[in-house]
């Protein structure tokens, strides 16, 4: 059964309104984002895809208040981006796991909870629960260097689940992993999303990854960074990796590829 | 059969670890004995053998290695002096080297604690303020270009005029040598977290205090401990130097000084060996603390 598009009345988790990000430079200013507007509804899985330099990571960082806008407004859960960050509205997964080598797996997942002010015992219980959700029970006592790259990134996802944010932001989290590991983690991530329906904003430059994971794919293009096309996926939410061989999947992937080429235009 | 194999394996492993050290030790002892014979020969010939015609090489070696005040004492003379001093006298006797080692190490440890605290304070100030970095760092570096031998008497005299004697002035000199490596290493360590780690805490809306204690401090420990090992060894030198100008009655420095007053070279050498051993024990203590305080094993 195809995913029914959420009703338009569903509240916007992320509201990006005419946002520009301009880096002033001596010779010529760099426009990382040019007048971008995007609304992400609650429970959506939105992928930002495009070639390097298209501003997909900048857009994610703007939503996370890691980057300041030059013009326009960003609202997360109805709050300005900065206040949303201070209210700990989202979890963020970086390109690299960024685990602290002096903490165990459990200690790393506990980190945001400790900062949030939970007492040690409570933090441990919550962290153990998060670890179980990414399939890492039994590894809580290990140190990061004892884990494979894929496991480390799962720990960082468990850590981002920290204080149960409604919004999960992921910046090419599986970019550094081999394809087999990436496929497995994609499927796990999809199951997690299917179960919990957390809003996810996911940056990638892999077309199959974007099509497989997303309910909506935002295709971006560089110089200046802008949105070329937004593609609704409509694939069933209980899809498995096998769906990649179906004509429906191929059709959506084709649309994404065409949009990417159009974005490149005369280049 | 299997048991002997295992024993041989264990002996092999032991030899692999201790072998190179033992070989170096053997070469060192050999060179030392040769040097002792060579350096002491002139005196022995002049004082004793010249009046006994027909002396042999064996006489020369025997006498050069058993002088009362040799130019260079032989290793076994130093070892005997050490054993005699440590086991022949009560622990609180000024003739027991352990007593002097205790006096010196108490000054070293106090100075090490003060130096580490001072170094940490300076590092935290420098990391938190660019202005302080520019105004403090040149002084920190300049302080280390002043020879400790020049500083030591000044410190002793000034603190003495304020009524402070004993361990404290020596600890101040020890601190003066200790704080520098700690400050430099901690500045580097506290700044070691990358952009990603800092942004991670930013997304948690972590306070500056949390960022400091949960990220910067643990990240700085691998930088801090090597500096502490250097610092405690430098602090020991500082404490010994601090004992020289005071005419101190106790401490390895005082022992070195009285030894050289009376030309008692064996006493000088055993005090030297004692301070080297003390240095090993102190840095070993820091290494143990490092193992205990930095979890995560090898990285």
ipTM of this predicted complex?
0.87
**What is the nearest CA distance from A161 to chain B, expressed in angstroms?**
12
- Domain enclosing residue A122, as ranges: 99-164
Checking if the pLDDT of A267 tops 50, the result is no
Asked if residue A136 is part of any domain, the answer here is: yes
Q: Are A88 and B299 in contact (CB < 8 Å)?
A: no
A188 lies in the same domain as A259: yes
Asked if residue A247 is part of any domain, the answer here is: yes
The H or E element that residue A202 is part of is strand A199-204
Site from B196, B199, B204, B224 to mutate, A interface, most A CB atoms within 10 angstroms: B204
Asked if residue A15 is part of any domain, the answer here is: no
Asked if residue A249 is part of any domain, the answer here is: yes
The bridge status of strand A167-171 relative to strand A199-204 is parallel
Nearest CA in chain A to B206: A115
Residue extents of the structural domains in chain B? 2-72, 97-293
pLDDT at position A241 is: 86
A191 lies in the same domain as A256: yes
Task: Tell me the chain A residues in contact with residue B210 when contact means C-beta distances shorter than 8 Å.
Answer: 115
- In the numeric block, the tokens 């005082």 are attached to B254
What residues in chain B have their Cβ under 8 A from chain A's Cβ atoms? Answer: 194, 196-197, 199-206, 210, 214-215, 218-219, 221, 294-299
pLDDT at position B198 is: 94
Nearest to B210 among A90, A91, A115 (CB): A115
pLDDT at position B112 is: 95
Checking if the pLDDT of A237 tops 90, the result is no
A171 lies in the same domain as A264: yes
Mean pLDDT, each 10-residue run in order, chain B (299 residues): 72 82 91 90 78 77 82 89 85 83 92 95 91 87 87 87 86 92 94 93 90 93 93 93 77 86 87 92 92 68
Sign of the dihedral defined by the CA atoms of residues B127, B130, B135, B139, in that order: positive
Asked if residue A138 is part of any domain, the answer here is: yes
Task: Tell me the chain A residues in contact with residue B298 when contact means C-beta distances shorter than 8 Å.
Answer: 145
What secondary structure letter does DSSP report for A172? S
Checking if the pLDDT of A1 tops 50, the result is no
pLDDT at position B299 is: 45
Domain end marker among A149, A164, A179: A164
pLDDT at position B147 is: 87
A70 lies in the same domain as A178: yes
Nearest to B204 among A88, A95, A100 (CB): A88
A171 lies in the same domain as A160: no
Task: Tell me the chain B residues in contact with residue A86 when contact means C-beta distances shorter than 8 Å.
Answer: 205
A172 lies in the same domain as A83: yes
Task: Tell me the chain A residues in contact with residue B219 when contact means C-beta distances shorter than 8 Å.
Answer: 100, 102
Nearest to B296 among A95, A101, A114 (CB): A101
A108 lies in the same domain as A158: yes
What is the total count of domains within chain A?
2
A220 lies in the same domain as A110: no
Picking from A170, A224, A229, A257, the residue whose alpha carbon sits closest to that of residue A55 is A224
A104 lies in the same domain as A200: no
Fold of the domain spanning B97-293: MetI-like fold (1.10.3720)
pLDDT (tens digit per residue) in A69-104: 888 899 998 888 898 889 888 899 999 999 999 999
**What is the nearest CA distance from A37 to chain B, expressed in angstroms?**
23
Nearest CA in chain A to B215: A100
Site from A63, A102, A168 to mutate, B interface, most B CB atoms within 10 angstroms: A102
pLDDT at position B291 is: 87
Contacts of B167 (CB under 8 A, 6+ apart): B103, B106, B107, B110
A79 lies in the same domain as A109: no
Domain end marker among A110, A132, A164: A164
A73 lies in the same domain as A196: yes
Nearest CA in chain A to B222: A102
A111 touching chain B per CB within 8 A = yes
CATH number, domain at A229?
A: 3.40.50.300
List % helix, strand, coil for chain B (3-state, nearest 5): 80, 0, 20
What secondary structure letter does DSSP report for B248? -
Asked if residue A21 is part of any domain, the answer here is: no
A140 lies in the same domain as A252: no
CA distance A203 to A216: 12
pTM over 0.95: no
CA distance A37 to B294: 48
Q: Taking all residues of chain A, what is their mean pLDDT, rounded to a whole number?
A: 87
pLDDT at position A266 is: 44
């Amino acid at each position: 059964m195809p995913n029914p598009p959420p009703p338009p009345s569903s509240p916007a988790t992320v509201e990006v309104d005419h946002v520009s990000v301009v880096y002033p430079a001596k010779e010529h200013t760099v426009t990382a984002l040019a007048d971008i507007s995007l609304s992400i509804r609650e429970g959506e899985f939105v992928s930002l895809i495009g070639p390097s330099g298209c501003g997909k990571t900048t857009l994610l960082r703007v939503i996370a208040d890691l980057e300041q806008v030059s013009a326009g407004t960003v609202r997360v859960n109805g709050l300005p981006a900065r206040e949303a960050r201070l209210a700990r509205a989202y979890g963020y997964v970086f390109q690299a796991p960024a685990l602290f080598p002096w903490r165990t797996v459990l200690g790393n997942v506990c980190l945001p909870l400790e900062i949030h002010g939970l007492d040690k015992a409570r933090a441990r219980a919550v962290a153990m629960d998060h670890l179980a959700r990414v399939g890492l029970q039994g590894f809580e006592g290990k140190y990061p260097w004892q884990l494979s790259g894929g496991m480390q990134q799962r720990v960082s996802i468990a850590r981002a689940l920290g204080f149960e944010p409604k919004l999960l932001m992921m910046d090419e989290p599986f970019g550094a992993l081999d394809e087999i590991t990436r496929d497995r983690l994609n499927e796990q991530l999809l199951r997690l999303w299917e179960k919990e329906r957390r809003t996810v904003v996911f940056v990638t430059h892999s077309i199959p990854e974007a099509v497989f994971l997303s309910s909506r794919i935002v295709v971006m293009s560089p110089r200046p960074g802008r949105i070329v096309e937004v593609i609704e996926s409509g694939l069933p939410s209980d899809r498995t990796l096998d769906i990649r061989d179906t004509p429906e999947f191929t059709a959506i992937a084709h649309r994404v590829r065409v949009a990417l080429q159009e974005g490149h235009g005369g280049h | 059969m299997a048991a002997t194999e295992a024993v041989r394996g264990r002996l092999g492993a032991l030899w692999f670890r201790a072998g190179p050290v033992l070989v170096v030790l053997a070469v060192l002892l050999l060179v030392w004995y040769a040097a002792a014979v060579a350096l002491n020969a002139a005196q022995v010939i002049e004082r004793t053998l010249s009046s006994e015609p027909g002396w042999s090489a064996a006489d020369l070696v025997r006498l050069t290695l058993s002088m009362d005040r040799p130019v260079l004492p032989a290793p076994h003379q130093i070892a005997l002096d050490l054993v005699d001093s440590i086991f022949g006298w009560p622990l609180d006797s000024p003739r027991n080297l352990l007593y002097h080692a205790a006096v010196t190490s108490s000054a070293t440890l106090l100075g090490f604690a003060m130096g580490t605290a001072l170094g940490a304070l300076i590092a935290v100030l420098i990391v938190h303020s660019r202005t302080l970095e520019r105004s403090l760092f040149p002084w920190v570096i300049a302080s280390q270009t002043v020879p400790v031998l020049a500083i030591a008497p000044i410190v002793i005299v000034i603190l003495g005029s304020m009524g402070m004697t004993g361990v404290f002035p020596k600890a101040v000199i020890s601190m003066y040598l200790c704080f520098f490596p700690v400050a430099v290493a901690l500045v580097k360590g506290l700044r070691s977290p990358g952009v990603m780690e800092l942004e991670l805490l930013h997304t948690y809306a972590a306070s500056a205090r949390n960022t400091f204690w949960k990220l910067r401090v643990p990240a700085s420990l691998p930088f801090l401990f090597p500096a502490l090992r250097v610092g405690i060894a430098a602090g020991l030198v500082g404490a010994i130097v601090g004992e020289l100008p005071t005419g101190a009655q106790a401490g390895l420095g005082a022992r070195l000084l009285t030894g050289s007053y009376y030309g008692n070279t064996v006493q000088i050498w055993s005090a030297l060996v004692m301070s080297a051993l003390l240095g090993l024990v102190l840095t070993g203590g820091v290494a143990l603390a490092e193992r205990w305080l930095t979890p995560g094993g090898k990285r």
